[in-house]
Structure 1
Amino acid sequence: MRWRLTLLVAATTTLTLIAFLVPLALLLRGVAEDRATGRATADVQGIVAVVGVGDRAEIALTVDQLVASGRPVTVFLPDGGAPLGEPVARTPAVELAATGTSLTASLDGGREIVIGVGRVSGGTAVIRTVVPEADLRAGVTRAWLVLAALGLLLVLLGLVVADRLARSLVRPIDDLSAVSHRLARAELGARAAVPAGPPELREVAGALNHLAERIQVLLREEREQVADLSHRLRTPLTALRLEAESVRDPDDRSRVAAGVDALERAVTGLIRQARWRSEPRDAASCDAAAVVRDRVEFWSVLAEDTGRELRLSLADGPLPVAVAADELAAAVDALLGNVFAHTPDGTPFAVSLSADGVLVVSDAGPGLADAAVSRGVSQGAGTGLGLDIARRAAGGALEISDNPGGGAVVTLVLTRP
C-alpha cells in the first residue's frame, strides 16, 4: 500500500508538471525567437533612412559596417545593379518586398527578414537580413534544462512527502495486522493502540479490541461450562469405581478398573484444558511408543473377546513426540474405538508406529467415507468427533484412505520435539 500511494503521487505530480512545463518550454522558445527577430529587425531598421535618401556609395559603406559587426545584411537597389553587402540571390520574399511590403519568412537554417524602402526616385529598395537558427535558439536549451531540473526536483520532493504520508497511514495498519496475528496465536491479551491516523483506522482498532474482548468472554464462558460438566462427571466416575471394586472376577475387575482409569484421565485432561489460560506454557511431550503400547494392550482384551486379530508394530522406544500423554492416549482410543464401532466382530486390524512418529491404524472392515474426517460427521451412530480428537493431537496432520485389501487406513503424523 505504501508503494502504491507513492507511485500514485509520483504519477499525479508528473502529469501536473508536464501540463505546466511543456507549454512553458514552448513559450520560452517563442520568446527567444521573437527576441532574436526583434534585435535583427532593429539593426536593419537603423539603415532604412540611409537607404531611402543616400547614394550607392554611402549605402555601401553603411551596409559594410553592419556586415562587419556580424549582421548578414543585403540591400537590393531598384537600379538593378549588384546587391550591396552579403552577396545573395533574390528570394521570393525579396521580390514581394520590392512591392513595398515588409515581412518575415522562414528559411532553411534560420529566418529571413525583408523590409521594403520606398526611395525618392527610382522605385523601392529592399533590405534583407537572416537570423541564424543558433540565434533563434539562444538560451532555450539552458532554460529547458533548468525547467527539467526544477520538474525533477518537484517530483522528488513529492515522492518524499508521499512516502512520509504513506508511512503515517501504513504504520497503524501494520500495527493492527501484528495485533491480529498475535490474537491468532492465542495471545488474547493483545490489544491495538488507537492510532493517530484517519478516523477509519481508529474505528478498525476499536473493533479489533472489541473482538478480542469478546473472544476472551466466550472462551471464559466455554471453559466454565466445560469445567462444570467435567465436575459433574466426578460423581458417576466414583460410582463406577466402586462398582468395579465389587466385581468378583479378578480379570473382569482389572479390565473395568482400567476403563474407569482411562475415563478418569480423560475427564482430568478436560478439566485441565478448561482451566487453561493464555499465559505461555512449557511444551508438552511424551513417549509415543509407551503410550501406544499401553492403549493397545488395553484394547487387546476387547479385541480378544470379539475375535479380532491384532497386529502391533512399534518402533523401539523411547520415541518422544510433542504431544501430551493424555492427548495422545485419547487420540489412540478414538482411532481404535472407531475400529470397534464401525467394523463387525472378527474384523482384523493393525497398529503401527514408525521411528519418525507416524501412527497408522488400519482394518479390514467396510472402510470410512472421506466425510468422516470432517468434524461432527459420521456415517454411523456416533458423533463423528473421534477423528477430530486424533487430528487435534497431531496438529491437523491426519489422513484417511482406503486399504488396498479392503477397509480403512488412518495415518496420524505426530510432531517430533
Structure 2
Amino acid sequence: MRARLTLLVGATTVLVLLAFLVPLALLVRQVAEDRAMSRADDVLRTVVPLAGSGDRDAIRLAVTAQSVPVSVFFPDGSVLGHETDPSPAVRLSAARGEALTVAVDDDREIVVPVVGASGTAVVSTVVSDDDLRHGVGRAWFTLTGLGLVLVLLSLLVADRLARAITAPITELSAVSHRLARAELTVRASPSGPAELREVAGALNHLADRIQVLLSAERERVADLSHRVRTPLTALRLETESLRDPEEAARVSAATDEVARAVTALIQQARRRDEPAGPPHCDAAAVVRDRVAFWAVLAEDTGRALTQEIPPGPLPVAVAPDELGAALDALLGNVFAHTPDGTAFEVRLAAAPAGAVLTVTDEGPGFTLEVARRGVSAVGSTGLGLDIARQVATTFDVGARPGGGASVRLQLAAPPT
C-alpha cells in the first residue's frame, strides 16, 4: 500500500509537471525566436534609411558595424555588406516592392525594399537557426532539472505520508496476529487518521471483550469442576466401607485419579493468559503411565491389552496433562463402547515430525458421524474424541484391519 500511494503521487506529479512544463518549453522557444527576429528587425531599421539616401560609404560603414550579416542589393547588381547572390526572396521583394520574411531551411531571411532615385534597392539579413534557438537548450535543461527535483521531492513527501498512513495499519496487523496467538493483554495504540484510530479502538474493545468472556468461561469451568469434588469426597468415604481391602484400594486409587484430574482441570482453567513457555512432555512416560492405570481395569474386564511404547524419552509439543487426558478419552471410549473381553492395542512410535499415537480395538467400530464433536450414541457428551483431537496436528479415525476401530494421533515435536 505504501508503494502504491507513493507511485500514485509520483504519477500525478509527473502529469501536472508535463501539463505545466511542456507549454512553458514551447513558450521559451517562441520567445527566443521573437527575440532573434526583433534584433534583426532593429538592424534593418538602422540600414534601410541609409540605403534610401544612396550614400554608399555610409551604407558600407553601417552594414559592417552590425553583428548579423546584412546585404544591400542595388538595382545595378552591386552588393554592399555580406557578399552573396540575391535569393528568390530578394528578387521577389524588388519586383513587388514588399517586405518579406521567408524560411530558408532552418534559417529565416528578412528582406526590405527601399525605393530610391535610381531604382529599388533591397536590404536583406538572415537569422540563423542558432540565433533562433539561442538559450533554448539551456532553458529546457533547467526546466527538466527543475521537474526532476520536484518529482523527487514529491516522492519523498508521498513516502513520508504513506508511511504515516501504513504504520498504524502495520501495527494493527501485528496486534491482531498477537491476539490470535492468545496474547490477550496486547493492545493497539490509536494513531494515524481518524478512521484508523476508530479501528484501533474497536480492536482494543474486541480484545477486552474476548478477555472478559474467556475469564468468565474459565471461572465457570473451574466452578463446575469444583462441584465435582463433593461427590468425589462422598465416593472416597464409600470406598472406606468396602470389606475387601484390595477392592477398596483399587476404587480409592481410581477416585484419587479422578480427583487429581479435577484439580488439574481447575488449575488449567485459571491459568494466566500468557503461558510461561511452549508446552512439552515426554510422550513415552505419559503414555506408559496412563496405560498402566487402565491395565488394571482391562484385567478386571477380561480385555487383552497390547502395548508398544519406546523406552527412551520421546518429546512432543503437548502438555503432559493434556496428552494424558487425550489418551484417557480414547481408552475410556474403548471401555464404554465395546463389550467386556474386547482386546485393544496402544502403540506409540517416533516420527520425523514428532510422534504417532494409535489406539485400536477389536470391537464393533463406529461410523464417521460418531467422530463429530457432541455426537454420541450412548447418551454421553460426545466430547471424548474432540479432547484427543485438540492435542494432535492430524487426527485420523477409521476402521481396524480385520474389524474394529482405529484412532491415530500425530503429535508435533517441540520447537528447537
Q: TM-score range by the shorter chain?
A: 0.7 to 0.9
Contact 1:74 1:128 in 2 (8 A): yes
Q: 2:356 aligns with which of 351, 355, 358?
A: 358
2:128 aligned with 1:117: no
Q: Cα deviation per residue 1:136-176 (whole Å; 9 max; x = unaligned)?
A: 11111111111112122222222232233233333333333
Q: 2:270 matched to which residue of 1?
A: 275
Unmatched 5+ stretches in structure 2 = none
Q: 1:65 matched to which residue of 2?
A: 64
Counterparts in 2 of 1:413 and 1:299: CA distance versus 1, 3 Å: same
| Deviation (angstroms), 1:186 | 2.7
Contact 1:63 1:74 in 2 (8 A): no
Corresponding residue SS for 1:46: helix
Using the aligned pairs only, state the percent identity.
60
Q: 1:173 aligns with which of 169, 172, 193?
A: 169
Contact 1:287 1:317 in 2 (8 A): no
| Deviation (angstroms), 1:416 | 2.9
| Deviation (angstroms), 1:367 | 5.8
Q: 2:201 matched to which residue of 1?
A: 206
TM-score (norm 2): 0.85
Q: 1:333 matched to which residue of 2?
A: 328
**How far apart are the structure 1 equivalents of 2:332 and 2:103?**
102
**How far apart are the structure 1 equivalents of 2:284 and 2:178?**
34
2:155 aligned with 1:159: yes
2:16 aligned with 1:16: yes
**How far apart are the structure 1 equivalents of 2:366 and 2:73?**
113
Corresponding residue SS for 2:87: coil
2:296 aligned with 1:298: no
Tell me the amino acid that sits aligned with residue 15 of structure 1. Answer: L
Corresponding residue SS for 2:390: helix
**How far apart are the structure 2 equivalents of 1:231 and 1:360?**
32
Query: More deviation in 259-268 or 211-220?
Result: 259-268
2:169 aligned with 1:194: no
Query: More deviation in 143-152 or 366-375?
Result: 366-375
Corresponding residue SS for 2:96: coil
1:310-325 to 2 correspondence within 5 Å?
310-325=305-320
TM-score (norm 1): 0.85
Contact 1:357 1:413 in 2 (8 A): yes
Q: Cα deviation per residue 1:188-233 (whole Å; 9 max; x = unaligned)?
A: 33233332x3222222222222222212221221122112111111
Query: More deviation in 320-329 or 215-224?
Result: 320-329
Tell me the amino acid that sits aligned with residue 316 of structure 1. Answer: P
Corresponding residue SS for 1:101: coil
Q: 2:98 matched to which residue of 1?
A: 101
**How far apart are the structure 2 equivalents of 1:300 and 1:125?**
134
Q: 2:217 matched to which residue of 1?
A: 222
Q: 1:388 matched to which residue of 2?
A: 386
Q: Cα deviation per residue 1:316-373 (whole Å; 9 max; x = unaligned)?
A: 1333444332221101112223444556666554322224433233445666666666
**How far apart are the structure 1 equivalents of 2:218 and 2:232?**
21
Query: More deviation in 365-374 or 322-331?
Result: 365-374
**How far apart are the structure 2 equivalents of 1:398 and 1:228?**
32
2:148 aligned with 1:132: no
**How far apart are the structure 2 equivalents of 1:378 and 1:77?**
124
Q: 1:142 aligns with which of 133, 138, 150?
A: 138
**How far apart are the structure 2 equivalents of 1:376 and 1:151?**
70
* Count of aligned pairs: 409
Query: More deviation in 24-33 or 300-309?
Result: 300-309
Tell me the amino acid that sits aligned with residue 60 of structure 2. Answer: L
**How far apart are the structure 2 equivalents of 1:112 and 1:52?**
20
Contact 1:32 1:136 in 2 (8 A): yes
**How far apart are the structure 1 equivalents of 2:375 and 2:410?**
19
Contact 1:363 1:409 in 2 (8 A): no
| Deviation (angstroms), 1:135 | 1.1
Q: 1:231 matched to which residue of 2?
A: 226
Q: 2:47 matched to which residue of 1?
A: 47
Q: 1:27 matched to which residue of 2?
A: 27
The Cα RMSD (Å) is 3.2
**How far apart are the structure 1 equivalents of 2:143 and 2:301?**
95
| Deviation (angstroms), 1:400 | 0.8
Contact 1:390 1:412 in 2 (8 A): no
Q: 1:91 matched to which residue of 2?
A: 88
Unmatched 5+ stretches in structure 1 = none
Counterparts in 2 of 1:322 and 1:258: CA distance versus 1, 3 Å: farther
Contact 2:360 2:407 in 1 (8 A): yes
**How far apart are the structure 1 equivalents of 2:337 and 2:112?**
115
Q: 1:408 matched to which residue of 2?
A: 406
Query: More deviation in 131-140 or 350-359?
Result: 350-359
Counterparts in 2 of 1:290 and 1:128: CA distance versus 1, 3 Å: same
Corresponding residue SS for 1:86: coil
Contact 1:40 1:129 in 2 (8 A): yes
Counterparts in 2 of 1:60 and 1:330: CA distance versus 1, 3 Å: same
